[in-house]
Structure formats: structure tokens, C-alpha cells
Structure 1
């Protein structure tokens, strides 16, 4: 795991022990609820338009990125439930991250971040001041003293530290799409498994253009990797 190895954009946010409830492991999840949710989704797709079918394909790809289908499905259910309970994604954003004066959330996107131990499921937030990611589940972290802690994996990049936004795709399977963001000091972060890839890419590019005070910049084309 990419712990705090002198990376100024990486934050490990501790959570109360009661908040883990097995979320740090694959645990026993209610598969009945997952199958029921997927079944409802399938029934909608049967009568949906082509646009909805593409959206359903994106959801399935989003689930497949995770080592555990159960974890991915439950993460999306939990994220949606939390947003409803807190009064919207902006309220959740304000609770997770330090909000600067005048900062507004533009949008949020379900996705994964690439780490040295594999993809972590979570949400990417794009605001008028920053690009930020927070993992859906906490993970077990051992401090230098050997103390066990449960932490959320968070990345925060202020827009004035964002150098580029680069789309790419798998050469063999073009449905596997990625977004790389690069900071002004050369740090790279890779995101994948988006449910709304095109919208996320467009939003990130617009945020980058706004931070540079430019307009009319070309939309970057995806490259194969």
C-alpha cells in the first residue's frame, strides 16, 4: 500500500473502531441484497434505451475492477445511502475534506484509485479548488510503533498544483479506461473503473482549464496502454 511515503498529496484519515464493522476485510456481506439490487438493475435495462444499456455496461465494468463483487456492490449502496442521509454529495465532501473559502463541489464520481497493492474503491470529487479522492472502506494500517489503526485512503490535489489530465485505455480491451492526473512536481495518480468515465474526464479537463484561466483548450484524446 502506498502509505505516507513523503507524498504531500496522500492523507491517511483515522476512523473510529466502531465505524469499521468488518469493512476493512471482505467479511460476510448480505449477498441477498446485492443480488436483489442487481436484479432490479437488470429489469430496468430490459426496457431501457441504448444509453441506459451503455450505463449498465459501465456499472458491470466498475464492479469487475474490484477483487470482490460483493465489496464493490456494497460500496456503491453504502455511498448512495450516505449521500442521502447527509443531504447530498456536497455535504459528504465537506465532512471528508477541509473546504476552502468559496469552494464548491462540482461533481463526484464512483471509481477506483491504483495503489501498489491493487485498486481501492471510492469516490473522486472535483471542486472549484481541488481534485480529491477518498476510499469507501477503511483499511488496516500499522504505525511505526506497531499500533493497529483503521484509516481512510485520501488524496488531495489543489487545482493550482495540477499539471495535466491524461485519458488512456487498455490496448486489448478498450472498455478498460483510465485517467491519469499529474501534479506540477511530477506525482502521478491513476483512476479507473468509472461508471461515468466521459463525464469525469470532461469535468477534470474543465477544472484544469479553469485553474489555468484558459478557455477553448482541446479535449485530450485517449491513448492506449
Structure 2
């Protein structure tokens, strides 16, 4: 179905009790509604030991998990309703030796950096592959990424898109953006995760359809969680396929969001956990 053109300055924002995610126009939930697709906890590995998570007290870790990477990305609005890095002179006889030593040192550093860059490039390439595989098709996901990049250029950058998409305070600053997917009961939703000085927010790249009576309407899928409402940011991986990596976001009122398909996964974990560090040290 051809989607109607959307005004980027008039994006309906979903409402939550303390945060916002779904459109208020989404039809009532059915009796068999489940907030997130059920996943056996054995299928998701616990966070690595070198990552520190916020203590959840006596509360047990939820048994719900993200949707798997297999299957199509969401094109319809999910049903869930949710509230939220001193020179010294040398003798001429030793100049040649010193220069050769300096050259060897520089080459050694360059070699080490090249090896590190190669490893990082391979990791990013692997993450990009997983990102594209999460979409309805590899080609569609690739085209979607290109389209999103074109949109960012046309609209003046992520900062401008962020401020026209979400309500922001004058002093609020956009810190990081990450292309990823949000796991929903309707399937993974491709979009951009924004980290600002005041909130964590997500908006789908494309509007999703939903039914109002006999009519099909469209709305962007949005989430906005104030940083003071964050309780935990938990990285995890699939035991069946370690290349599949997730980030679980939990709010203080126990609402969960599962993000996946990050191109820059390690950077996302590091920066998303940063707002929680003052709380950990206090």
C-alpha cells in the first residue's frame, strides 16, 4: 500500500504514564495481549561480566525477551501500550641510528593501530550485516538505511530531526544517535535511538499502519524516557547466535524495551549506561 506523505514537523507522539511510546489512536488491546514476544530466558545470555548493571534489588529479572532476528520487520503498529567516550642533542654518528629507531617505533605504532582498526572494522561490518538481516529483506533494509541518510541530510541533521520529532527543552542537547530496531509484538521496528542530555528516545524510520474502524491510518512509533526514569541498561547476546546482540532498557516503573541490530553496539552500551553511573556511585 502506498503510504501518504508525512509532515516531519507534525508527528503524532504516543502517550505514556511517565513516558511516551504508542499512539493514543491505537485500538484497544485484545484479551490475549502480551507486552513483548515471549522468549525462553535460556535463549538469551546474561550480560557479560565486564559490564556492570544496575542492581535490581530483590526483583527477579523479567522472563520476557526480545523478538528473534528471524521473520519480517514490523509494518503495522504493535498493540502494546507502554508509559516512556626534553629533546637532547645527539652526536652525528648516532643520528642515523636514532632516526631508524624512530621510524621503527612509528611503523610499529601504525601497525598496531591498523590491526586495531581492522578488528573494529570487522566488528562494525558484522554488526551492519546483522542490522540489515533484521529487516524484512536485506535489500529493503539497505534501501531503508540509504533513505534515512538522505532524510537526515535533507532535514539538516539528526539534531534538527530530534527537536522536531520530540518535545525538547531549550537547554537540552542531543548527545548520540544509533540506528537500530525496537522489538515489539508486531515485529522489529527499524528506527533511530536518540540519547540526549535529558531523555532516551526512539522513533521509527517509517510510519506504521493501524486500523481505526474500517480505515487504515499511519503513525510513527515513538518512545521517550526521561533519563531520571531509567533503572537499568542491560546488554545481552543470543546463546544460539552470539552475533545477535540486544540492549534491554528498564524504567523505574518496570517497563521494558528491547533494542537490537545496532551497528555500533559497544558504543551504544557504553553511552546508554553512562546516565546511570552517578546513581551507581551514590
Q: Name the TM-score class by shorter chain.
A: 0.7 to 0.9
Once residues 230 and 200 of structure 2 are traced to their aligned partners in structure 1, the CA distance between those partners, rounded to angstroms, is 9
Q: Match of 2:202?
A: 133
Larger Rg: 2
- Provide the residue aligned with 2:46 in structure 1: none
What residue is the counterpart of 1:73 in the other structure?
142
How far the C-alpha of 1:113 sits from its partner, in A, is 0.3
Question: Quick one: which of 266, 270, 274 aligns to 1:198?
Answer: 266
- What's the secondary structure of 2:183's corresponding residue? strand
Relative contact order: is structure 1 or structure 2 higher (C-alpha 8 Å, sep ≥ 6)?
Answer: 2
Unaligned 5+ residue runs, structure 2? 1-13, 26-74, 77-116
SS in 1 for 2:171: coil
Give the TM-score, by structure 2 length. 0.58
Q: Deviations over 1:95-132 (max 9, x none)?
A: 11111231100010000000002111111000000000
Q: Contact 1:13–1:151 at 8 Å: present in 2 too?
A: no
Separation (CA, whole Å) in 2 of partners of 1:55 and 1:6: 34
SS in 1 for 2:129: helix
Name the residue aligned to 1:173.
Answer: 241
Partner of 2:124: 55
CA contact (8 A) 1:170 1:176 kept: yes
Q: Quick check: 1:148 aligned with 2:216?
A: yes
Give the Cα–Cα distance (whole angstroms) in 1 for the partners of residues 158 and 215 of structure 2: 33
- Conservation of the 8 A alpha-carbon contact between 2:247 and 2:258: yes
Residue in 1 that maps onto 2:155: 86
RMSD after superposition: 2.4
The residue that corresponds to 1:40 in the other structure is none
Q: 1:10 aligns with which of 21, 40, 46?
A: 21
In the aligned structure 2, how far is the partner of 1:71 from the partner of 1:103? 34
Within the candidate set 161, 164, 168, 1:95 is matched to 164
Cα pair 1:167 1:179 within 8 Å, conserved: yes
Give the secondary structure class of the aligned counterpart of 1:11. coil
Aligned-pair distance for 1:6? Answer: 6.4
Which whole-Å CA distance do the structure 2 matches of 1:104 and 1:5 have between them? Answer: 22
Q: How far does residue 146 in structure 1 lie from its aligned partner after superposition?
A: 3.9
CA contact (8 A) 2:15 2:23 kept: no
CA contact (8 A) 1:13 1:154 kept: no
3-state DSSP of counterpart to 2:23: strand
- Secondary structure of the residue aligned to 1:118 is coil
Displacement over 4 Å in runs of 4+: 4-8
Residues 16-36 of structure 1 show CA distances to partners (whole Å, capped at 9, x for unaligned) of xxxxxxxx69xxxxxxxxxxx
Residue ranges of structure 1 left out of the alignment (5+ in a row): 15-23, 26-47, 218-225
